Amino acid sequence: MGQAGCKGLSQSLFDYKTEKYVIAKNKKVGLLYRLLQVSILTYLVVWVFLVKKGYQDTDTSLQSSIVTKVKGVIFTNTSELGERLWDVADYVIPPQGENVFFVVTNLIVTANQRQETCAESESIPDAWCYTDGDCPPGEPVVAGNGVKTGRCVRVGSMQRGTCEVFAWCPVETKPRPVKPLLGKAENFTVYIKNFIRFPKFNFSKTNVLDTNDRAFLKSCQFGPKNPYCPIFRLGSVVSWTGSNFQEIAVQPSGQHVFRKLNLLWVQLQAGKFSLIPTVVNIGSGVALMGAGAFFCDLILIYFIKKSHFYRDKKYEEVRSGHLGNGEVNVDQLQNLQTVDA
């Protein structure tokens, strides 16, 4: 028996075993199987490959930066300041190159201010007084310009006066200008350069057009006919937000901020064809096909009326033959199971 076993094992090393398939002529189960196949194939092609782009390797480790630079000059001639030329050093806060900037469009000028004592403005209710006791020294004026000194300053024979304060004097008393002092700032331009890079693919891109024309950036302006120019007119930028530049130039209702591009504010993903995710997703689809066949097998052999018939056809029982002396005829059993070439 030992030699026979070794011989059988050595011969089986060169055998090829293949599965046996049973074709079940059942239209309901067959239709279910085809529907499962079509559904799995549709899911694989449409959702996995077209929508989710499962054939790509992705990179979400975005590196980005943004630089802004404002340009423009304005000439003004006022009684307080006289003739003056305004450039970026005067009206842009903070200095150039930051990822956020604030453009001054209106201001109230109080000439020759210095730190000393003077009467607080009458438009400040907390500064009204009748006696020096109404102006406790060292107490700041609520919504005012300085700190009370302890004196109540009255003009002429008026009973009510205002507290004397230590502040920048003379204090601001003029109303807000009805027209913006720097209203022509809407024609200023801002250069906005952003840069992104995906280190995994060593891919980078910027919004500045790659051109050998050195005069391009000096003459272009962003618009429908020139979408690759990084120079924007301030008036146009404000109008794109649905606001009027001249209205917000008098008293801005809010700030328009350009934030640095990073993963907190920008969600970008780069994709590139890769064999590995493609094979993995195709393998998952094949596995789902196998799961569909397994499900149909369960329906066929357990849940339909003739399940016992299909179960008998799918599974065969092979029993060992016995000789008269009670020994198993192993050679005979082997011949029944093996087809020799």
- DSSP letter string, 224-270: TTBTT--EEEHHHHHHHTT--HHHHHHS-SS----PPPSTTT----E
Buried residues in 156-168 as b, exposed as e (16+ CB within 10 A):
eeeeebbbbbbbe
Domains and CATH numbers, the chain: 19-54+275-337 (no CATH), 63-107+178-270 (2.60.490.10), 114-169 (no CATH)
Residue with tokens 């004397």: 164
Q: What is the pLDDT of residue 318?
A: 63
pTM, two decimal places? 0.53
Q: What is the pLDDT of residue 135?
A: 96
Residue type, 75: F
Q: What is the pLDDT of residue 298?
A: 84
- 230: its two tokens: 């990084």
Distance CA 162, CA 139 (A): 14
Distance CA 221, CA 5 (A): 89
Q: What is the pLDDT of residue 253?
A: 56
Residue with tokens 């027209």: 179
DSSP-derived secondary structure letter, 318? -
Could you tell me the CA-to-CA distances from 50 to 24, 53, 99, 203, 304 in Å, in that order? 35, 5, 37, 23, 38
Cβ(68)–Cβ(225) under 8 Å?
Answer: no
Distance CA 227, CA 208 (A): 10
> One digit per residue, pLDDT tens: the chain, 341 residues?
566 667 666 766 777 767 767 777 888 888 888 898 899 999 988 988 888 888 887 777 777 777 888 888 989 888 778 888 888 888 887 665 556 678 888 888 888 899 999 999 999 999 999 999 999 999 999 999 999 999 999 988 889 999 999 999 999 887 777 888 888 889 999 888 888 888 877 888 888 877 788 788 888 888 888 888 889 999 998 888 888 888 888 876 555 554 444 446 556 667 778 888 888 888 888 888 888 888 888 888 888 887 788 777 777 666 655 444 444 444 444 444 443 43
Cβ(282)–Cβ(81) under 8 Å?
Answer: no
- 219: its two tokens: 């003459």
Q: What is the pLDDT of residue 69?
A: 85
**Which of 169, 136, 140 minimizes the C-alpha distance to 152?**
136
- 250: its two tokens: 């008098």
Residue type, 194: N
Distance CA 212, CA 226 (A): 17
- 282: its two tokens: 């195709």
Beta bridge partners of 152: 163
- 254: its two tokens: 């809010």
Residue with tokens 């970026």: 88
Distance CA 322, CA 168 (A): 119
**Which of 107, 62, 47 minimizes the C-alpha distance to 81?**
107
Question: Exposed, middle or buried, 333 (CB in 10 Å: 0-12/13-18/19+)?
Answer: middle
